[in-house]
Amino acid sequence: MASHIVGYPRMGPKRELKFALESFWDKKSSAEDLQKVAADLRSSIWKQMAAAGIKYIPSNTFSYYDQVLDATSILGAVPPRYGWNGGEIGFDTYFSMARGNASVPAMEMTKWFDTNYHFIVPELGPDVNFSYASHKAVDEYKEAKALGVDTIPVLIGPVSYLLLSKPAKGVEKTFSLLSLLPKILPIYKEVIAELKAAGALWIQFDEPTLVLDLDAHQLQAFTAAYAELETTLSGLNVLIETYFADLTAEAYKTLTELKGVTAYGLDLVRGTQTIELIKSNFPKGKYLFAGVVDGRNIWANDLASSLSTLQALEAVVGKDKLVVSTSCSLLHTAVDLVNETKLDDEIKSWLAFAAQKVVEVNALAKALAGQKDEAFFTANASAQASRKSSPRVTNEAVQKAAAALKGSDHRRATNVTARLDAQQKKLNLPVLPTTTIGSFPQTLELRRVRREFKANKISEDDYVKAIKEEIKKVVDLQEELDIDVLVHGEPERNDMVEYFGEQLSGFAFTVNGWVQSYGSRCVKPPIIYGDVSRPKPMTVFWSSTAQSMTKRPMKGMLTGPVTILNWSFVRNDQPRFETCYQIALAIKDEVEDLEKAGINVIQIDEAALREGLPLRKSEHAFYQKWAVHSFRITNCGVQDTTQIHTHMCYSNFNDIIHSIIDMDADVITIENSRSDEKLLSVFREGVKYGAGIGPGVYDIHSPRIPSTEEIADRINKMLAVLETNILWVNPDCGLKTRKYAEVKPALSNMVAAAKLLRTQLASAK
């Protein structure tokens, strides 16, 4: 019985690629140095999978930034502003598209389906001249083969690539991206021909958009694309991989009737209903790559349950046609549990990271083939039983409090217009008030202080003194820049979710459980294993300390319950909304303590609210109801004069704008600049928004410093669709990933732009 892995984490067990990328970007190392680190990581991954007994090992799942940008490079779809003149795309052009450069901004970045991973959105139009401009897929296949590992090269499928793209600036929004299919398929044919010539026997096309709500025209594009590729694919085994949700009956029919396709990869963790489609009608002679090992979470697989599912499927598709696989790429999970030295043994026994999931996949494949490792299965069954019965998982008081929430919608008593009036009387802010999103640059010295405190190398007194000094530096800088509503810069926090999880019950933490978010940005999601509560205040001391350093309003900075949920590895033994309500109650306690401590502006970030939106429209309403309710729970008890902010970052917000309004926050700051001000189109189309709103005026994920004139132009575009008295001026997101040499001039220009517009507005009266 064969086994398969859809994809594998790229960063390395100790984030080796992250550090190599940042060293290269900072011009401290060469391209050759970066390529050497990357080659070593790829070699290690391939050899590890081969040693574990995996038959179908992927290649070309490694990326220096993201796999969609890699596909853009293969197709030579470089926007003209980057000055690329043809030939093989190098690092300069590649990273300029991803991060921008001194003269031009980066391409738009958005979330990869409903994950916390991001991708660079292709910008396409009728005039794009596609050409075969990156041979990475073929090069990596050959690289693995030279190491003695025969792999399945993986490509983003042509239809999903187009459906994940957007019309370039200046192209009509109604332009049919699928009309470009005849232009990109010749490039795919060139890649396929080279892979065949190099000796490839299989090829994997990732077509995850098949799980979305697609119309007949979109489904027909899959049929047309693979019919066109059929002759070129002749002689290859072709796997079409889907993931993240069920397939509709129509999509399943389209998939299983594609020309020239040998195998179908299906997510049977998040797509359990797809199993019924398989049982009712699976094409004879085709392979099923059954994704029964969860690529999105870190819980050990219930091997007995998975084996039962696989045995039922084996009866349908045939013993020699069933391949055990992961539900999706393991990119979304941590790398290796072996590196976790501080997790206690009980919780550790409940977990499986990427390396362990590879072993689980192979163990299931061997069990199906009659070579069951009884000791491995017995240990797994014991761990499953331990987790179900452990007293540390359940807190009856928390469960009772969360259950009681269902009787109210937890709205503040006064409408937002009246609240904003009361807040303005107290805060006395100018027109177009300026603020930032929360974090300031995390310097090497600051990271050292936190690291040494965690390692007990410095005392608590020394740690508190160092953090206070950093807060004072950030407060003084903001006052010098004349920012209106200040933040303390979050120097005590390495990560916005991890920081809160460490202080809440029901959470566990890893040392090296890093997961890639985008580029070199990695996060270390906490693990929610049990009921959640707040034993004591979490941020009151630092916020009060910061407020004592200034007469200007100081924001209390919290992470909202939906974001904590969506950016954690969440327990899978109860519905997600129940866990979210528990977190909301804990944050509510913190909000009320901040208010009592004299903090008049409190930001409750819901950066990931859009991210958790289910992929199927039929499931949207239920998610939006409990997600928005969770946010309202956190602040329903504060006074009218306490201003509640929230923040959302890189996503497509337009389809949840009514839920954003229903959150009933006083002010929302929201990503806008990198997505070509897509957000503003909602207001142009007539949506009325009465609360304060700060669409980001510049992209913080690029080192580029915007000019005062550029920012003023953005503000003017906002004023064309938003009332002057509700508009705020702020960056897109927090500043922790930037350097002070970039932050100071950018914020200075931002404040100057706001003042320029205030003057113009005053003189126009």
In a domain, residue 755? The reply is no
Check whether residue 310 and residue 439 sit in a common domain. Answer: no
- Based on the number of CB atoms within 10 Å of its own CB, is 189 exposed (0-12), middle (13-18) or buried (19 or more)? middle
In a domain, residue 244? The reply is yes
Q: Check: CB of residue 299 under 8 Å from CB of residue 352.
A: yes
Instruction: Give residue-wise pLDDT tens across range 139-159.
Output: 999 999 999 999 999 999 999
In a domain, residue 545? The reply is yes
Instruction: Give residue-wise pLDDT tens across range 474-529.
Output: 999 999 999 999 999 999 988 778 889 899 999 999 989 999 999 999 999 999 99
- Which stretch of DSSP H or E encloses residue 669? strand 667-670
In a domain, residue 661? The reply is yes
User: Nearest-CA neighbor of 497 among 479, 483, 484, 510?
Assistant: 510
- 645-651 average pLDDT score: 80
Which residues define the annotated binding site? 18, 116, 437-439, 490, 521-522, 567, 605, 647, 649, 658, 662, 671, 733
pLDDT at 650: 55
pLDDT at 700: 87
In a domain, residue 562? The reply is yes
Residue 749 has pLDDT above 60, yes or no: yes
Check whether residue 156 and residue 195 sit in a common domain. Answer: yes
pLDDT at 651: 56
Q: Which amino acid is at 457?
A: K
Instruction: Give residue-wise pLDDT tens across range 384-431.
Output: 999 999 999 999 999 999 998 877 889 999 999 999 999 999 999 999
Work out the pLDDT band at 184, boundaries 50, 70, 90.
Answer: very high
Check whether residue 188 and residue 284 sit in a common domain. Answer: yes
Q: Which of 488, 629, 645, 701 is catalytic?
A: 701
Work out the pLDDT band at 653, boundaries 50, 70, 90.
Answer: low
Neighbours of 146 (CB within 10 A): 9
Check whether residue 24 and residue 142 sit in a common domain. Answer: yes
Neighbours of 197 (CB within 10 A): 9
In a domain, residue 490? The reply is yes
Check whether residue 614 and residue 571 sit in a common domain. Answer: yes
Which residues define the annotated binding site for 5-methyltetrahydropteroyltri-L-glutamate? 18, 116, 521-522, 567
Percentage with pLDDT > 90 across the chain: 87
| Residue 701 annotated among the catalytic residues of the structure | yes
How many structural domains are present in the chain? 2
CA distance 589 to 592: 5
In a domain, residue 113? The reply is no
Instruction: Give residue-wise pLDDT tens across range 192-221.
Output: 999 999 999 999 999 999 999 999 999 999
pLDDT at 28: 97
CATH number of the domain to which 571 belongs: 3.20.20.210
Check whether residue 329 and residue 463 sit in a common domain. Answer: no
Which residues define the annotated binding site for L-methionine? 437-439, 490, 605
Q: What is the DSSP string of 502-558?
A: TTSEEEE--SS--EEEETTEEE---EEEEEEE-SS-SSHHHHHHHHTT-SS-BEEEE
Work out the pLDDT band at 679, boundaries 50, 70, 90.
Answer: low
pLDDT at 406: 79
Check whether residue 507 and residue 374 sit in a common domain. Answer: no
Global pTM reads 0.91
φ/ψ of 328, rounded to 5, equals -160, -175
- 180-201 average pLDDT score: 98
Work out the pLDDT band at 468, boundaries 50, 70, 90.
Answer: very high
In a domain, residue 81? The reply is no
Query: Which range among 10-14, 351-355, 699-703 has the greatest average pLDDT?
Result: 351-355
Residue 102 has pLDDT above 70, yes or no: yes
Check whether residue 525 and residue 416 sit in a common domain. Answer: yes
Check whether residue 383 and residue 421 sit in a common domain. Answer: no
pLDDT at 687: 78
Check whether residue 354 and residue 431 sit in a common domain. Answer: no
Check whether residue 326 and residue 448 sit in a common domain. Answer: no
Work out the pLDDT band at 686, boundaries 50, 70, 90.
Answer: confident
> Of 355, 389, 423, which marks where a domain is finished?
389
- 29-37 average pLDDT score: 98
> Of 358, 389, 420, which marks where a domain is finished?
389
> Of 357, 389, 421, which marks where a domain is finished?
389
Check whether residue 490 and residue 562 sit in a common domain. Answer: yes
Residue 506 domain boundaries: 411-701+722-737
pLDDT at 652: 63
